[in-house]
């Protein structure tokens, strides 16, 4: 049998209806083209069929809305359950015994800082691990990471106070990589924004729900706040396994997806450096915006009990879930609608407009609160919506459409973890600085002032990004045929 070869690279057909329309693409030498039957269907006709068996092939043949619904349920379930291993401890007040303090730092602040520190280190590790992760290892890796986190929570409950804070650090250490692994199943598709919006809905809603579950275990069932985190996690183990199994059956993006959104593939260290240098200004600016958003979102989330209490609303465990449910629906509707914008340039510029609009809403909600025209519930919902719209837009649209608009080969995992790692590092710094403020300071005024100044800076950067990419993104955003891509190592 003869083999077609150009230079040092072999070619394989993607589709061949006739000799004139046969399209080829270059792959590594282990691919061979049988010239004895050049118009036979290739075993790699569709990326979604590569390695697919049984249920994966069935899923690839479903109508887009049904396929999207399946992916959203799988991603939402998995990441929602992950939050049950991460956030429940924040529902505890940890004021006893003796209002424990470490060198003047409140015990709960130590617990939050410990977990966030581990989570931050995980994000930096994830820049390499997630961007290089082969698709076949994602599902097992997710279960392994969450298993380690639950073991740390069990040790947190068993270890005497105050030394148990070490195990919250170890709890955060593996969990920071779970989001990137889940997102990797969804990126590079024509419906990625809708899928990612569904994924992001999980952490908007889950945070409030798992805190409500944690408070109910403490208030209604008398569970110790030290054992409550581990018990909450155990309650979510069965749906976690279901979600991960569903994720593992999702087929890879097909050729239409690749043509519209560019090919997504693991990245080497050189790939990561080259991609950053090509977009240094834009990526630096969006990382700063994302970092400030992380501070606002995390402060609002980790100290929700204290903020609601100072707003005059306490003793209602369900208030966390009710407020975040409204925020979730608003964010999904706004960010998920980007899926209807096929032009990558329009979608990317639209996402920067959403970022600016979100910060305008945050500033408006702060003004309404200061003027006394917003009740506590409306204030927290509007502020949450304003902060989460740009935060989720970066997850769902900004990086996805940036790669697609410039026809970059790589993956969202690298870009997302570059931003995430920086964001959580800044948040750790803010938490450390907070403890040098005067004793007895209220959380609410601190939160309001911090959010105001960070929103002003972010709004300015968002406007700069809108102008920058308005000038730089190519106006021709037609889908790129695979055959038109440069052929490496050809003569």
pLDDT at res. 478: 63
Q: How far apart are CA 399 and CA 413, in angstroms?
A: 9
Domain ranges in the chain?
A: 5-45, 49-472
The token pair that represents 214 in the structure block: 């944690």
Quick check: pTM over 0.95? Answer: no
Specify the 3-state DSSP secondary structure of 169: helix
pLDDT of residue 317: 64
User: Of the candidates 291, 314, 319, 311, which has an alpha carbon nearest to the alpha carbon of residue 448?
Assistant: 311
Cα–Cα distance list, 18 to 13, 23, 481 (Å): 12, 10, 17
Q: Which pLDDT score is estimated for 433?
A: 75
Residue 485's pLDDT is 43
Find the angle CA(127)-CA(128)-CA(131) to the nearest 5 degrees: 80
Angle between helices 280-302 and 269-278 (to 10 degrees): 100
Pair 359, 462: CB distance under 8 Å: yes
pLDDT of residue 4: 39
CATH 1.20.1250.20 fits 49-472, yes or no: yes
Rounded to whole angstroms, the Cα distance separating 268 from 319 reads 45
Between vectors from CA 398 to CA 487 and to CA 64, what angle results, nearest 5°? 75
CA dist 208 and 318 (Å) reads 8
What's CA 312's distance to the chain center, in Å? 32
Distance CA 195, CA 243 (A): 14
Would you give per-residue pLDDT tens digits along the chain (491 residues)?
433 333 333 333 343 444 444 444 433 333 333 333 333 333 333 433 444 468 888 999 999 999 999 999 999 999 999 999 999 998 888 875 544 555 666 788 788 889 989 999 999 999 999 999 999 999 999 999 999 999 999 999 999 988 899 999 999 999 999 999 999 999 999 999 999 999 988 987 888 889 889 999 999 999 999 999 999 999 999 999 999 999 999 999 998 999 899 889 999 999 999 999 999 999 999 999 999 998 898 888 877 878 888 888 765 667 777 888 888 889 889 988 998 998 999 999 999 999 999 999 999 999 999 998 999 899 999 999 999 999 999 989 999 999 999 989 889 999 999 999 998 898 888 777 766 767 667 788 889 999 999 999 999 999 999 999 999 887 776 665 543 443 333 22
Return all residues near 284 (Cβ < 8 A) that are at least 6 apart: none
| Distance in Å from the first CA to the final CA of the chain | 23
Q: What's residue 96's pLDDT? A: 55
């Amino acid at each position: 049998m003869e083999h077609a070869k150009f230079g040092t690279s072999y070619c394989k057909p993607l589709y061949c209806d006739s000799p004139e329309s046969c399209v080829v693409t270059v792959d590594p030498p282990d691919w061979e083209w049988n010239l004895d039957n050049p118009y036979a269907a290739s075993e790699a006709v569709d990326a979604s069929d590569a390695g697919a068996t049984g249920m994966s092939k069935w899923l690839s043949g479903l109508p887009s809305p049904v396929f999207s619904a399946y992916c959203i349920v799988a991603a939402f379930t998995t990441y929602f359950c992950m939050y049950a291993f991460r956030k429940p401890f924040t529902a505890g007040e940890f004021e006893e015994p003796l209002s424990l303090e470490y060198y003047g730092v409140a015990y709960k602040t130590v617990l939050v800082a410990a977990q966030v520190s581990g989570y931050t280190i995980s994000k930096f590790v994830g820049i390499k691990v997630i961007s290089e992760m082969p698709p076949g290892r994602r599902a097992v890796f997710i279960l392994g990471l969450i298993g380690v986190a639950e073991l740390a929570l069990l040790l947190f409950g068993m270890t005497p106070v105050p030394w148990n804070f070490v195990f919250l650090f170890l709890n955060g250490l593996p969990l920071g990589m779970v989001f990137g692994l889940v997102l990797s199943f969804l990126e590079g598709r024509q419906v990625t924004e809708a899928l990612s919006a569904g994924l992001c809905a999980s952490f908007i809603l889950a945070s409030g729900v798992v805190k409500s579950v944690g408070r109910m275990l403490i208030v209604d069932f008398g569970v110790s706040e030290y054992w409550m985190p581990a018990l909450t996690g155990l309650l979510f183990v069965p749906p976690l396994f279901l979600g991960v199994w569903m994720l593992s059956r999702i087929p890879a993006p097909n050729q239409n997806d690749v043509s519209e959104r560019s090919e997504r593939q693991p990245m080497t260290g050189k790939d990561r450096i080259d991609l950053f240098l090509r977009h240094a200004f834009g990526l630096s600016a969006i990382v700063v915006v994302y970092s400030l958003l992380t501070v606002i979102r995390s402060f609002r989330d980790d100290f929700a009990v204290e903020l609601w209490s100072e707003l005059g609303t306490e003793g209602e465990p369900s208030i966390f879930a009710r407020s975040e449910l409204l925020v979730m629906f608003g964010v999904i509707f706004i960010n998920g609608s980007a899926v209807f914008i096929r032009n990558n340039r329009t979608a990317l510029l639209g996402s920067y407009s959403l970022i600016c609009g979100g910060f305008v809403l945050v500033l408006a909600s702060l003004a309404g609160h200061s003027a006394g025209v917003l009740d506590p519930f409306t204030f927290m919902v509007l502020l949450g919506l304003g902060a989460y719209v740009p935060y989720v837009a970066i997850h769902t649209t900004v990086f996805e459409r940036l790669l697609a608009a410039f026809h970059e080969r790589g993956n969202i995992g690298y870009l997302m973890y570059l931003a995430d790692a920086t964001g959580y590092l800044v948040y750790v710094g803010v938490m450390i600085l907070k403890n040098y403020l005067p004793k007895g300071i209220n959380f609410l005024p601190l939160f309001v002032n911090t959010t105001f100044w960070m929103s002003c800076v972010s709004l300015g950067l968002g406007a700069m990004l809108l102008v920058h990419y308005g000038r730089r993104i190519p106006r021709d955003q037609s889908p790129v045929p695979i055959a038109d891509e440069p052929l490496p190592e050809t003569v």
